[in-house]
Amino acid sequence: VYKRQGPWQSLEGYPYITLIPTRDHSSGYSFSKKDSDSDEIIYGIYLLSTSKTTKVLIKSLKEKDEAVSELTNLAEQIGLKVINLG
């Protein structure tokens, strides 16, 4: 399920698609002096502009295998070139 955000944009300026992992870190502290630390990697699927300087997040996933599969499916359906930024 994709959420629509912001104004509609043509895919014409975004010929590339990529997967970018980011670390999501959160921590908390309670009055009972118990620390709560959470660290996970979120895999974002992004459209990239021709110059590769502008990116648009289209989906975030927690599992790498699921993200790679979704990236491949989207690239085939939309006709975009998959690139690796790492």
Beta strands 16-29 and 81-82, pairing class? parallel
pLDDT at 8: 77
Report the C-alpha gap between 8 and 18 in whole angstroms: 20
Cβ-based neighbours of 79, under 8 Å, separated by 6 or more:
none
Per-residue tens of pLDDT for the chain, all 86 residues: 455 667 777 888 999 999 999 998 766 666 666 666 667 899 999 999 999 999 999 999 999 999 999 999 999 999 999 998 75
Report the C-alpha gap between 36 and 18 in whole angstroms: 32
pLDDT at 4: 65
Task: Give this prediction's pTM.
Answer: 0.77
* Per-residue CA distances from 16 to 40, 65, 85 (Å): 26, 20, 11
